[in-house]
Structure 1
Amino acid sequence: MKNLKHVLLTALLSPLVAMTAANAQQANNDAIAFEKAFNVKLPSIKSPVFKKDTFDVASYGAKADGITLNTKAINDAILACSKNGGGVVLLGNGLWLSGPIILQNNVNLHLKENAVLLFTADKSQYKLIEANWEGKKAIRNESPISGTNLQNIAITGKGIIDGNGDVWRAVKKEKLTESQWKKLVASGGVVKDGRYWMPSAGFLKGDTSKNASAIVPGKSLADYEEIKDFFRPNLLVLTNCKTILLEDVTFQNSPAWCLHPLMCEDLTLRNLMVKNPWYAQNGDGVDVESCKNVLIEGSSFDVGDDGICIKSGRDEDGRKRGMPTENVIVRNNVVYHAHGGFVIGSEMSGGAKNLYVYNNSFMGTDIGLRFKTTRGRGGVVENIYISHTNMKDIAGEAILFDMYYMAKDPILLAGEKREDPKSEMMPVTEATPQFKNFFIKNTYVNGAEKALFIRGLPEMNIKNINIENSVIQADAGIELVEAQGISIKNMSLLTRKSSNLISIRNSSAVNFDGFKALSNYQSFAEIAGAKTANINFINTPIKDAKQKSTFTFGAKPSVLNIK
């Protein structure tokens, strides 16, 4: 009988094993192809290893009834596991209510498929701490899950971790239907300016206080209690940890960012589902900040802010830390609603380099590839390699580089108006950011508001951007402002509404090679600015381009060369 069971089990598992092996082989082939295409070597990321010992939280008094507060029992099980040399802390079937959980060395927190870890709406359970917010040291509420200075840790399993974020977040009226807004206002809280709901008066006071979360010498944590409600925590924060695995879990409904690894090394995120309501302000999916050796693969994101985001600290704080995010692989992911699919910035003051992004799809994001910064950040973002990106129904730009980030939603809300920033030359200092050396291949876009937008600073152009082998269908075409050394090769562009196919202002050394316009246009190019020079179209079958281009604000026809 034992042998028969073994045979049956082998027969049942063999297709799965074969499929897993096939997937692994395909992943390996894709990695090899990527390395050859860009002449790079992908980094190696270490994975944690755990003892088989299992610590069931139910054995420590936890109850999966959705009512019992299991904070102590879960933390006791984690501590016991770590002190025993590590292993698995198990949450079985059921609804586990808890306050903040603190991870420990050598512990794999594992949620079975029908396990839900729900964090309490009782904010008194989350103490005020000195932490980090948007790249700066700040006062925050303790995160639902956190870990500091740890090694060999994991959160795995097919369960759900829910941050109960709706009790923390403010909401803009424009992001809800009329009935949703009325229901929200009737639930309590306060409304600011008739359009901005906040959960409490304390939140409102924090929102209207300048630098409310700043750590001020001489002030104690008790001095911040009056506006405690304002300091929304991130769902998961791992600080200065090494060898980390997050696998198979659903992370959802965070008060702010969902996943925030900070100054970590050897981090793997695999087969995750990361969800926040689309109206969730600062509801990012994952923000990888000042980390080294990272793999994000096979995951899906549907969130209220940026999907997969690379950061490295903000302004002077980030520059003093001086830790770039580097050696990152992002592959085989899907991003649904988000402000950006794959994003760098805007808090990138420590820099970012050696990022390898391939085989990702963005479905309905506001922007596809989004790279943003602003004066004051400083930092250098360089050596970014991106291939095989699919996009559909992008509300804004398919590809965007912008050094005038304004900390606003990328798509205008109903009734909202914005003016373009004033262009003026400023001195170059350590606070001047830089974007350079981007290599983007094989981008396919079915629907976007604009195909490509690059806007640098007069004193620091965006430099050496290479885009190759792309097919883009968008309302508007290409806009280049204060850009230098731009190469666009083998691009097919179908525009639907724009009268100007290409707009170039104060940019130089711009090469279009093998460019194809798949639709009619009134003006081939609008070329402006006395600084514009050396604009070249090579192997481009557009004979009337010279006649259908305009030259304004000091730009001369001689800057456009058609070969």
Structure 2
Amino acid sequence: LTARAGQLETLRAGSDDWRKEQLFDGDRDSDLVSLSPPLHGAATSTSIAGVRAFHASALGDITTKIHGSSRSDLSGISSSSSSRSEVRSSGKPQWPNRPHVFDLADFGGVGDGATDNTRALQNAVYAVSTVADKGGGQLYVPPGVYRTGSVNLTSAMTLFLARGATILGNPDPALWPVIPPLPSYGRGREMPGPRYSSLLHCHNLTDVVITGDNGVVDGAGAAWWQMKRAGVLKHSRGALIEAMWTSGVTVANVTLRDAPAWALHPVYCDHVQVSNVTITAPPDSPNTIGIVIDSSEDVLIEGVTVLTGGGGISIKSGWDEYGLAFARPTHAVTIQDSHIESPLATALSIGSEMSGGVHALRCRHVSIAHSRAAFHLRTAPGRGGYIRDVLLEDVTMLNVTVALAFLPTCRSHPDDHFDPAALPRVSNISFASISGSLISEAGRLIGLAAAPFTDVSLSDVNLQLVEGGKGFSCQHVDGHARNVSPAICPELSAIEAGPLECGGCSSFRGLGER
């Protein structure tokens, strides 16, 4: 990673392309957009095209470093029909071995990259639904490229993508149904009214597994990104995979590529597991966040590699008055053993849509590189809600513009009916064993004058700044710090020895140990 960081010097400050493509999590929010991208080292190119080429070259290196030569540990699984009923990895995660197996080819599936397979997939999913009360079924997708519109999955289902199999989105909007806005958002995220469905959609289901032998789900996002830039979208873009009101969701051992917008979006879900997944999109792709956990609980994300444009992993829970009324928080979330890069955005973020509340979030053993911000807590007056009991520990950073950011200055709202007096409450945010190099700014820890952020703690934080880099700046926050470099601001009182208290850490007991 350090060697690759040296390839990027002249891609940083001053490039008009970076200013034009303000691709933070939420295009309308510009709280950090004045920052240059995090690029230091030897001269190469000065354009978005240059960083796109660099970004594409990173995937092989990162996958090998983080996961080894084989992410899925599925060497014992072949694509022959004799092994199609065996869908369990030899390691984590584990899921039910379905007694009924269906082959997409038997329903007319054609993997030539051109034939539309929407009807074939719909018919195959219907067949799986007929055995839901008999132990469920596996839908096997053989090698090939299967072009399709949006497809609704079913309960007690395993969608298994063989090695060499790709489900490819057909970017014709007519093949993506228009569905109501999320009740906790009140409107489509990009424009008023309804929104497009996701490519693979789960609605009010139980026990859904999307997995494979390193198969691919490809959203053909370039066409959607162009429609957004041209201002011709009729509705807000859909996700690549979205699960709504679903209990028991596993996504494992697959690659998610070029999502129209967000790649993986569990919303109003519980018991969600994401393991050994690679998520990619070009760095200039608009708002292509890798994983968005939204008003969901009991979530484990582990062993993922995210290289995207709009952000890595984001925690949300609804937007302003709609999120406050819906009142479903995101809680009990563990993120671990993963790597994230997002050159124009944030690797790990909370918000800015957090009106339903966020608590009991733990992130550990994560590496972050080549990102505008490593951790960004985003909120604003009008959001209301709360963020509390958050712990980041054993996180490494390389070539990041801002390591830690609390910025309550997001300006986007669903409409004019939000209450500006609805202030977010932020407390018990802890950072422990954080290290970084090539950091341009250690942190902006900014709360609200009318609602200061409380009980913020930093312990064993060592951030090596670039020449001329900035340290910490703080306003309207209080808490404690020990063994922090560069020196922490006076708002966080220094403790020379003894343990720092993590006010909400008892909430984490048992998370990630399923």
TM range (shorter): 0.7 to 0.9
Partner of 1:483: 477
Whole-angstrom CA distance in 2 between matches of 1:295 and 1:197: 34
Q: Residue 471 of structure 1: which of 457, 462, 482 is its match? A: 462
Deviations 1:321-360 (A, max 9, x none): 1111001110001001251122111000011111111000
What is the 5 A alignment of 1:521-536?
none
Partner of 1:215: none
Whole-angstrom CA distance in 1 between matches of 2:216 and 2:204: 25
DSSP-derived class of the 1:366 partner: strand
DSSP-derived class of the 1:104 partner: coil
Whole-angstrom CA distance in 1 between matches of 2:338 and 2:321: 33
Question: How far off is 1:295 after superposition?
Answer: 0.2
TM-score by length of 1: 0.66
Partner of 1:433: 424
Q: Indicate if the aligned counterparts of 2:183 and 2:322 stay in contact, CA closer than 8 A.
A: no
Letter of the 2:246 partner, please give it.
C
Question: How far off is 1:514 after superposition?
Answer: 4.3
Question: How far off is 1:406 after superposition?
Answer: 4.1
Partner of 1:152: 207
Question: How far off is 1:448 after superposition?
Answer: 1.4
Q: Is 1:70 the counterpart of 2:117 in the alignment? A: yes
Question: How far off is 1:488 after superposition?
Answer: 1.3
Q: Residue 359 of structure 1: which of 353, 356, 365 is its match? A: 365
Higher-RCO chain (CA-CA 8 Å, sequence separation at least 6): 2
Q: Is 1:385 the counterpart of 2:391 in the alignment? A: yes
Whole-angstrom CA distance in 1 between matches of 2:452 and 2:137: 51
Residues 149 and 298 of structure 1: is their aligned pair in 2 closer, same or farther, counting only changes over 3 Å?
Answer: same
Whole-angstrom CA distance in 1 between matches of 2:259 and 2:184: 15
Partner of 1:81: 128
Partner of 1:132: 182
Question: How far off is 1:492 after superposition?
Answer: 2.9
Comparing 334-343 with 130-139, which one deviates more in the overlay? Answer: 130-139
Q: Is 1:511 the counterpart of 2:493 in the alignment? A: yes
What is the 5 A alignment of 1:152-551?
152-157=207-212, 158-170=214-226, 197-198=229-230, 202-203=232-233, 228=234, 230-337=235-342, 339-394=345-400, 396-406=401-411, 429=421, 431-474=422-465, 475-484=469-478, 486-493=479-486, 507=491, 510-514=492-496
Structure whose alpha-carbon radius of gyration is higher? 1
DSSP-derived class of the 1:332 partner: strand
Whole-angstrom CA distance in 2 between matches of 1:275 and 1:109: 20
Deviations 1:86-121 (A, max 9, x none): 221011111111111111000111101100110112
Partner of 1:496: none
Q: Indicate if the aligned counterparts of 2:161 and 2:211 stay in contact, CA closer than 8 A.
A: yes
Question: How far off is 1:435 after superposition?
Answer: 1.2
Partner of 2:43: none
Q: How many residues align?
A: 393
Q: Percent identity?
A: 25
Whole-angstrom CA distance in 2 between matches of 1:151 and 1:48: 13
Whole-angstrom CA distance in 1 between matches of 2:463 and 2:447: 22
Residues 407 and 131 of structure 1: is their aligned pair in 2 closer, same or farther, counting only changes over 3 Å?
Answer: closer
Letter of the 1:477 partner, please give it.
G
Whole-angstrom CA distance in 1 between matches of 2:145 and 2:425: 48
Whole-angstrom CA distance in 2 between matches of 1:279 and 1:132: 26
Residues 343 and 367 of structure 1: is their aligned pair in 2 closer, same or farther, counting only changes over 3 Å?
Answer: same
Letter of the 2:481 partner, please give it.
I
DSSP-derived class of the 2:423 partner: coil
Whole-angstrom CA distance in 1 between matches of 2:186 and 2:225: 20
DSSP-derived class of the 2:121 partner: helix
Q: Indicate if the aligned counterparts of 1:47 and 1:268 stay in contact, CA closer than 8 A.
A: no
Whole-angstrom CA distance in 1 between matches of 2:399 and 2:264: 26
| Structure 2 unpaired stretches of 5+ | 1-74, 77-88, 189-193, 414-418, 498-514
Whole-angstrom CA distance in 2 between matches of 1:354 and 1:503: 26
Q: Residue 165 of structure 2: which of 115, 139, 142 is its match? A: 115
TM-score by length of 2: 0.73
Question: How far off is 1:135 after superposition?
Answer: 3.4
Letter of the 1:491 partner, please give it.
V
Q: Indicate if the aligned counterparts of 2:157 and 2:209 stay in contact, CA closer than 8 A.
A: yes
Residues 48 and 379 of structure 1: is their aligned pair in 2 closer, same or farther, counting only changes over 3 Å?
Answer: farther
Question: How far off is 1:372 after superposition?
Answer: 0.8
Partner of 2:147: 97
Partner of 1:544: none
Q: Indicate if the aligned counterparts of 2:481 and 2:488 stay in contact, CA closer than 8 A.
A: no
DSSP-derived class of the 1:168 partner: helix
Question: How far off is 1:69 after superposition?
Answer: 0.5
- Compute the RMSD of aligned alpha carbons: 2.4
Q: Indicate if the aligned counterparts of 1:47 and 1:266 stay in contact, CA closer than 8 A.
A: no
DSSP-derived class of the 2:371 partner: coil
Letter of the 2:306 partner, please give it.
F
Q: Indicate if the aligned counterparts of 1:48 and 1:152 stay in contact, CA closer than 8 A.
A: no
Q: Indicate if the aligned counterparts of 1:49 and 1:152 stay in contact, CA closer than 8 A.
A: no
Residues 149 and 95 of structure 1: is their aligned pair in 2 closer, same or farther, counting only changes over 3 Å?
Answer: same
DSSP-derived class of the 2:321 partner: helix
